[in-house]
Chain A
Amino acid sequence: MAEPLAQPVSNLIQAFSRLPGIGPKTASRLAYFLLRADDEIALNLARALEELKARTLFCSVCLNIADQDPCRLCADPQRDPTVICVVEEPLDVQAIERTREFRGVYHVLHGAISPVEGIGPEDLKVRELMARVRRSLETETPVQELIVATNPNLEGEATAMYLARLFKPLGLRVTRLARGLPTGGDLEYADESTLANALTGRSEL
C-alpha cells in the first residue's frame, strides 16, 4: 500500500509531535499551515531552528543559555555581582527579570535535588557555583549574598537547604524567597499550608 502522505509532510508531522505539549493532531495542523503559508514563514522558522542550536551556548559564568559568553546579564556593568540569585531553570531567570526588582546576577542550577529521580547535587551546577563564589572572594567584588530562588516544593527545599549548608560556612548571607500569599489573592481561599507559611514569614510594618 502506498504511503497516504507525501514523505516530507509526514516527516515534519513526526518531528512536531515529538515536541512537548504537541500531539499528532496539532502536529498535522502545524505542518499543513506551513505547507500553505508563504515560503518566507517556513524559511524563517527553518533558519530560527538552525540558529537555535548553532548560535546558543551556556554562559560560562551563570550557566544560563545565552548567545554570547559571558551572557548579556553577566557582562552588564550595571548589575551587582555581589548578589547571586540561584534558580533551577533558565525560564526562572526570565520570571525574576520580569519583576525588574532584582539588580544582581544569576546562577542556573539546571534542576533540583530529587533522589527519587536519581538527581543529586553533583548532577546540578553546584560545583560551578562554588568555584564562582571562591573566585570572587579574591576580587574587589566578593559575593556577599546568595538568594536561593528554587521552587517552594520538596525538591526545591532540599536544594535550598543543601546550598545553605554548603555556602554559609564561607561567610555568605544565604537567603530564601519568602513564601506566602499571592498578591491580589483572597485570604479565605488560601490553603492551610500557604497561610501557615505566610504567618511564620510575616514581616514588620
Chain B
Amino acid sequence: MFLRRLWLDHFRNYRSLDLTFPQPWTLLQGGNAQGKTNLLEAIHYLATSKSSHARVEREVVGWSASEEPIPHARIRGQVERAGQVTELEILFTRRAQGNGFTKQVRINGVARRSLDLLGLLRAVLFMPQDIELVTGSPSIRRRYLDVALCQIDREYCRHLARYQKVLAHRNSLLRQLREGGARPGEPRVAAELGFWDEQLAEHGAHVLARRYAFLARLEPLAAAQHHLLSGCQERLHILYLPTFDPGHLGPQGLQELRAGHYRAPRAPLSPPVPAELAGRLQAHLETHRARELAAGATLAGPHRDDLVFLLDDRELRAYGSRGQQRTAALALKLAEVRAMAAETGDTPVLLLDDVMSELDARRREMVLEALSEVDQAILTATDWEDFTPGFRAQAYRLQVVAGQVRAGGKD
C-alpha cells in the first residue's frame, strides 16, 4: 500500500499543499510548530476518517479557510495498491447553523460513507505521546484497539458504531428511570430496558470477541518486538481486563484480574465466541440491575474495559521505568504493523512522528529494520542528525517550514 500523492487545503497550518511521494521512505525535517505532525495527522485522518488528536472537526480547519467564500478544508490522497490507484478525499464544510463543520467523504470523486473509507488506506502512527498507551487512562488503550481494529475489520467498526448508539440510549434511559424512582423488580423496568439490553449484549459481544481475537494475534508479535528492542529476558504480556465474566478465564482467573493480582498467563487462552459472550453480558446486565439503576449508567461492556501490560508478572504502568514504558509502547506499535500486514496481506503506511530523538542507537536500528518491512514510511525529525547518513541517502528528503514543504535538505 502506497500513498502516491497528497493534497491539503486549509488543513491546520497548510493553506495549500500538493505533495508527491516518489520513494518508499520520506523524511520530513523542520523546526517545532512548522507542520510536521499536521502532515502525518492528515494522512492518518485519511486512513481512519478520524483525527489522531483533535476532539472536534472544527480544530482541523485552518485559519486560512476563513478567506474562502465558503470556508472549508480538504484532505485528498492517491493510494496505489496492487497497481490500482484510488483517490480518497475528506472535505470539511461549515454547517448552515452554528460554527461546526461537517465531514464528507469521497472515493474516486463519488460521495460515500465514512465507513467505506476504512481499509482503502491503512496507517500506523507512532508519536512520542504514545507512551500514554502504557501510562495513560484506559480510554487511550480502548481507542488504540478501536483505531487498529477498524482499519482491518469493517464489521468491527459497524458493531462498534451501533454499540455506541445503543449505549447512549441505554444510559439516557437508566438516568430517566433513576430520576423516576424506578425499582429493579418493576415490570416496566424490564419492559423498557429489554430491547436495549439485547442490543447492547449483541453488539458488545461482537466488539469484545474481535478485540480478544486481535489481541491473541497481537500479543506474541508485541512480545517478540519487545524482546528485540530491549534485549531483556523479561517477557511482555498484554492482559485484557473485562467488566463482566467472559467465561474463558475460569472463576479464579477472573477473580485475580478483578483484585489486581496480575500474572502472566501460563498458556494462551482461546478467545471466546460472540454468541456465548452475548448471553453472558445480558445475564450480567440483568443481575446488576439495581447497581446500574443507582448509577444511572451502563457499568459493564467493552466501553469500560482496559488492557494491562506486564513484564513477566510485574505491571508496567505502576512499576516500569519511563524507558521500559516507552519501549513497550513502541513494541506495541511495531506489532500493530505486523498484525495488520498478516491480517490484510498488505503493509500499512508507517508514520513516525519525531520518535528517533528519544531512542538509543540499538532501538533506532530496530525501528529502521521495521521500516524495511513496509512498502512506505513517512518520518519526521527536527534534526537531520537523528538519522544516519546512510539512511538519509536512501530517503526522499523534504523540509517543512511554516506550512510549506520543499524538497531537499542535508544529504
- Interface of A toward B, CB cutoff 8 Å: 114-116, 118, 120-121, 154, 157-158, 161-162, 165-166, 192-193
Which chain A residues border B191 with CB–CB below 8 Å? 121, 162, 165-166
State in angstroms the CA–CA spacing of A158 and B196 once bound together. 7
Contact B176 A118 (CB under 8 A): yes
What is the bound-complex CA distance between A121 and B194, given in angstroms? Answer: 13
The 8 closest A-B pairs by CB, nearest first: A115-B173, A115-B172, A161-B195, A115-B169, A158-B195, A116-B172, A116-B169, A116-B168
Contact A154:B158 (CB < 8 A) given known A121-B192, A165-B191, A165-B194: no
What does DSSP make chain A's interface, helix, strand, loop or mixed? helix
For A120, what are the chain B residues with a Cβ–Cβ distance below 8 Å?
173, 176, 192
B258 within 8 Å of A by Cβ? no
Greatest chain B CB density within 10 A among A118, A154, A192 is at A154
The complex places the Cα of A191 from the Cα of B98 at a distance, in Å, of 32
Which residues of B are at the interface with A, using a C-beta cutoff of 8 A?
Answer: 154-155, 158, 162, 165-166, 168-173, 176, 191-192, 194-196, 198-199
Inter-chain CA distance A115–B166, complex, in Å, is: 10
Q: Which of A114, A162, A192 contacts B192, CB < 8 Å?
A: A162
Contacts of B192 in A (CB 8 A): 120-121, 162
Residues of B within 8 A of A162 (CB): 191-192, 194-195
Which residues of B sit under 8 angstroms from A118, Cβ to Cβ?
Answer: 172, 176
Q: Which residues of A contact B173 (CB under 8 A)?
A: 115, 120
Contact of B166 among A154, A192, A193 (CB under 8 A): A154
Q: Is the CB of A115 within 8 A of B195?
A: no
**A115 to B198 alpha-carbon distance, docked (Å):** 15
Report the minimum CB–CB distance from B210 to chain A (whole Å).
16
Residues of B within 8 A of A157 (CB): 195, 199
Are B165 and A115 within 8 A (Cβ)?
no
| Residue numbers in B under 8 Å from A166 (CB-CB) | 191
A196 to B51, CA, bound (A): 31
* Complex alpha-carbon distance, A121 and B195, angstroms: 13
**A114:B194 contact, CB within 8 angstroms:** no
Residue of A114, A115, A157 with most chain B CB atoms under a 10 A cut-off: A115
- Partner of B176 from the list A115, A158, A161, A165 (CB cut-off 8 Å) is A115
* Interchain CB contact under 8 A, A158 and B169: yes
> Would you mind naming 22 contact pairs between A and B with Cβ atoms under 8 Å apart?
A115-B169, A115-B173, A115-B176, A116-B168, A118-B172, A118-B176, A120-B173, A120-B192, A154-B162, A154-B165, A154-B166, A157-B195, A157-B199, A158-B195, A158-B196, A161-B194, A161-B195, A162-B191, A162-B195, A165-B191, A192-B154, A192-B155
CB distance from A179 to the nearest CB of B (A): 15
Chain A neighbourhood of B171, CB < 8 A = 115
Complex formed: what's the CA distance from A23 to B162 in Å?
34
* A residues near B198, Cβ cutoff 8 Å: 161
User: Inside 8 A of B169's CB, which chain A residues have their CB?
Assistant: 114-116, 154, 158
Residue of B nearest to A159 (CB): B195
By beta carbon, the residue of chain A nearest B195 is A161
Residues of B within 8 A of A115 (CB): 169-173, 176, 196
State A114–B169 Cα separation when bound (angstroms).
Answer: 7
Nearest CB in chain B: distance from A157 CB, A: 7
CB distance from A62 to the nearest CB of B (A): 24
Closest to B154 in A: A192
Bound complex: CA A157 to CA B243 (Å)? 27
Please indicate the chain A residues that have their CB under 8 angstroms from the CB of B199 in the complex: 154, 157
**Distance of A116 Cα from B191 Cα, bound (Å):** 17
CB distance from B236 to the nearest CB of A (A): 36
A168 to B155, CA, bound (A): 33
Q: How far is the CA of A116 from the CA of B168 in the complex (A)?
A: 7
A192 to B115, CA, bound (A): 12
Closest-by-CB residue of A relative to B166 is A154
Q: A154-B162, A158-B196, A192-B154 are in contact. List 11 more A-B contacts (CB 8 A).
A: A115-B172, A115-B196, A116-B169, A118-B172, A120-B192, A154-B166, A157-B199, A158-B169, A162-B192, A162-B194, A166-B191
- Name the A residues within 8 Å of B158 (CB-CB): 192-193
Report the separation of the CA atoms of residues A182 and B171 in the bound assembly, to the nearest whole angstrom. Answer: 34
Q: What CA separation (Å) do A21 and B360 show in the bound complex? A: 62
- Distance (Å) between the CB of A94 and the closest chain B CB? 28
